[in-house]
A and B are shown apart, each in its own frame.
Chain A
């Protein structure tokens, strides 16, 4: 799949190294600001209500090459959100203004607010050179002080963040940020942090550019001794609550709930995302610091209008009647594709292809650390898991549930990735019910009188698999088929459809027999290796106690077996290895061990989603990665989207 987006001669090799091409780009990205600006802003500047364009832009503003052509100003872009907890829907469209960003192909890190940087050989020191003369959306200059303030005063404030966010701490110690001069900052980590630039390009890397010092400092006790009184006046109980409601955080709704907070985004909040809002409106940032190749200030589009739908069906209705300009979020499930394809002419839109960065569409996690010793013994039996895997008729499942658009797959990087591991990806995917039965017989699970198998202790082989129907309806359909396949080999399973919070509570309590979830790590194996070893405290559902042991450095959870500990050590090593070839070699060892242990049972390769783009909306790539780390469509730079009419 990766070849679908690697269309511009950037090889996958450059992906994780992330350094290639950076220097060339930052030099090319400098022209003088002689271009135009939006008519409304020009009028304001003429009336003296705004400084002239040249004073609002940096001396050498960042130049963005439009995807198709230089655009024209104007228009309001319509997009849909859901009523609750959909703040990341705004983040993905607007809030991608970090120090660095991903390129369109998701292969390399590029300059953004930092025009260039140096990394020390041991990958502990990162020195960033900020673009000079960038302004916050209220006209206040953005400098090294803001970056130092954001990390040292906000993120490292233990009352605000009782523990430092994972990206900013290595070896249990938080990063130190120093100001070298007004436009240079140095990040120093306690140990090697080779992945920092890639992490910085993901949404969770936005902390350094999130908090404007001149505004947010008024909500910190260090700068404002009367803060408790102010908090009381604002009707909240503590200053930390006031800080969060006024300055937000990377991914909480209140980030988009304050119209006064200055930002570096192309659009700023005009009508906030607050409880009970029926829409969110964002309007252009007059101080936005990027221009197109002719020097015109971005963004082209005046306004973004996020309508809030309570119901996906009414969002679909808006799409097919042409009332949405670009949308993939919420509507991208395969079941909607026929309807959306049929109405392309009526809604005047074209389809957008999403290339999944995930690996597995439906990963089955048997709880190898089950509380019940008999169940634990059964799930921990590799032969049992292998037998169940070959007892699944994957082709039938793919044809029925995924309209034939996938292939049998276990786990690991996607087939086009340079670290692809054939054995890990394909073993035990051949459907063979007879062999599966024979393997179960041999493992000691003999058939009883009713045709179902019995455990050695005489109990029936029966377990339930947790699934959240509201989040992933296709997984329920897939499991129903698996249930039928397993019934043929004498194994009884219950598809346990439960509510989201219960799913998590059961996972946290280690109370589940098994659970399903899409398996990540197909294109970004370093960023989310939860299926390769016990890495993710909520996600590696085959052994939550092992992940707790790993994340707490052995203080909590349960000590994992040697093969897990070896992989944990290897991954820590890979994380601090700057050299891509060496890092790849380490990761390949992890995949070999994981293939041998066969802890998770996968069904099929993750299927691509899709979206729609109105025909009059241009400069939008029609194929883009679908990932949280590449928070589509943000890295496609919506600021250079433009309307033709």
Chain B
């Protein structure tokens, strides 16, 4: 097992290089560069930018270099100094900008994951065991509703109701007094008192699909002979369910952990923008729109790293949980 994990780790290194290069190329693909966007922004308020100034900016940011040179300069900085470069737009080191955002993103992602599983697993099992009962129909209806409603729409409706009908402050993850405060217990409490709304909104759609997956898997397992055997041997219904069919039915949940982390970041972009959440998604979108390439590149790189780590975790967990999987 340890050898397996070590091998997987080694494989992650070239993979990261490959995805970082691809990400860098993709970010540069749209026409124009940061300076074009900067000029466009100023001109939107009818401002003239001197052509010399534009040329000077390009030179200052090294935008005139060939892409490969830019890429190696960037990677060299990261590998040797942990320096992700400077954000053009903010004139700040990228590393100052990303860490807190990434941390909050992980908090949101993990909370959503836990909430999703906590709702989806029991309901999925229940729906399978009590197939075609009133409860099953109820939850089935709920899942279709959850799948059909776009989460940003749900966010807008909930915000409108909260803001206009109840006068609640709904945007963001913190109350104004904690927004720029340093971390403390009180700030944590404040965070969790704001976290539930985005968590519910984000959890609704993924919960719906997970309930269906769980129900289908359980229905596959329940009629199998080993279940009948166990039941004949007098195992209680609850222990029986927990011990065998559930473990096997969990397989798709575990093997999708790798996608969950990047999905929760990229899938929550619209919701995060609507709800004004200080997570990575809105900053990433802004950086992409402004062609602020080092900032965008750092985010994409981190998300790729998370995906790789996620797939490692799911492989390990699968090996542990599913008795059918062997390393050889």
Contact = CB atoms under 8 A, between A and B. Distances in A.
Interface of A: 83-85, 88, 161-163, 165-166, 204, 235-238, 240-241, 244-245, 251-254, 257, 271, 274-276, 278-279, 281, 305, 307-311, 313-314, 317-318, 320-321, 323, 346, 471, 499-506, 508, 520, 528, 536-539, 548, 551-552, 628
B289 interface: yes
Interface string B30-74: 111100111111111111111111011000100000000000000
Contacts of B172: 278
B40 A503 contact: yes
B52 A520 contact: no
A506 B30 CA distance: 12
A310 B44 CA distance: 18
A251 B278 contact: no
A505 B291 CA distance: 13
Contact of B48 (A163, A253, A318, A536): A536
A317 B159 CA distance: 8
Top 3 nearest A-B pairs (CB, nearest first) are A501-B32, A275-B90, A163-B52
A504 B90 contact: no
A245 B276 contact: no
A537 B43 CA distance: 11
B282 A628 contact: no
Contact of A505 (B36, B89, B167, B278): B36
B46 A275 contact: no
A121 B282 CA distance: 55
A281 B42 CA distance: 23
Contacts of B45: 88, 628
Nearest to A237: B86
B51 A504 contact: no
Nearest to B283: A276
B163 A317 contact: yes
Contact of B89 (A85, A238, A311): A85
A252 B53 CA distance: 13
B286 interface: yes
Contacts of A628: 45-47
Contact of A504 (B32, B101, B179, B274): B32
Contacts of B318: none
A517 B41 CA distance: 14
Contacts of A241: 60, 86, 91
A310 B273 contact: yes
A204 to B, nearest CB: 8
B160 interface: yes
B228 interface: no
B123 interface: no
A309 B52 contact: no
A276 B100 contact: yes
A549 B169 CA distance: 55
Contacts of A552: 51
B115 interface: no
A528 B312 CA distance: 60
A276 B179 CA distance: 12
Contact of B278 (A278, A323, A503): A278
Contact of A85 (B41, B101, B273, B275): B41
Contacts of B38: 85
Given A236-B93, A538-B49, 10 more contacts: A84-B89, A85-B38, A85-B41, A162-B52, A240-B60, A275-B90, A309-B171, A310-B286, A501-B30, A551-B51
Contacts of B286: 83-84, 310
Interface in B116-172: 156, 159-160, 163-164, 167, 169, 171-172
Given A278-B172, A317-B163, A504-B39, A252 B91 contact: yes
A221 B306 CA distance: 43
Contacts of A501: 30-33, 36-37, 40, 291
Contact of B39 (A162, A308, A346, A538): A538
Nearest to A556: B51
A161 B289 CA distance: 26
Contacts of B174: 278
Given A275-B283, A278-B278, A499-B30, A163 B90 contact: no
B86 A163 contact: no
B195 interface: no
Contacts of A318: 163, 171
B278 A276 contact: yes
A281 B100 CA distance: 20
B91 A257 contact: yes
A163 B30 contact: no
Contacts of B83: 235
A536 B32 CA distance: 19
B87 interface: yes
A558 B61 CA distance: 30
Nearest to A308: B276
B97 interface: yes
Contact of A274 (B92, B163, B164, B290): B92
A505 B156 contact: no
B150 to A, nearest CB: 14
Contacts of B39: 504, 538
Q: Which of A310, A346, A500, A503 has the most CB of B within 10 A?
A: A310
A450 to B, nearest CB: 33
A520 B46 contact: yes
B185 to A, nearest CB: 21
A220 B276 CA distance: 39
Q: Which of B45, B156, B164, B176 has the most CB of A within 10 A?
A: B45
A235 B89 contact: no
B32 A314 contact: no
A127 B86 CA distance: 41
Contacts of A204: 47
Contacts of B87: 275
Contact of B47 (A251, A254, A346): A251
Contacts of A254: 90-92
A83 B274 CA distance: 12
A85 B48 CA distance: 16
B295 interface: yes
Contacts of B92: 245, 254, 257, 274-275
Contacts of A271: 180
Contacts of B97: 274-276
Nearest to A317: B163
Contacts of B33: 501
Contacts of A235: 83, 93
Given A85-B290, A501-B291, A274 B90 contact: yes
A163 B55 CA distance: 10
Interface in B259-297: 272-276, 278, 282-283, 286, 289-291, 295
Contacts of B91: 236, 241, 244-245, 252-254, 257
B42 A251 contact: yes
Given A276-B101, A502-B30, A504-B39, A346 B164 contact: yes
A324 to B, nearest CB: 12
Nearest to B43: A538
A79 B59 CA distance: 36
A501 B295 CA distance: 18
A271 B96 CA distance: 16
B32 A505 contact: yes
Contacts of B278: 276, 278
Nearest to B269: A310
B48 A166 contact: yes
Nearest to B50: A163
Contacts of B295: 275
A500 B276 contact: no
B90 A500 contact: no
Interface in B206-246: none
B179 A278 contact: yes
Q: Which of A162, A254, A276, A628 has the most CB of B within 10 A?
A: A276
A257 B90 contact: yes
Given A241-B60, A501-B31, A538 B101 contact: no
15 contacts: A84-B286, A85-B290, A161-B53, A163-B52, A163-B56, A241-B91, A257-B91, A257-B92, A276-B97, A279-B176, A317-B159, A317-B160, A321-B164, A501-B33, A548-B51
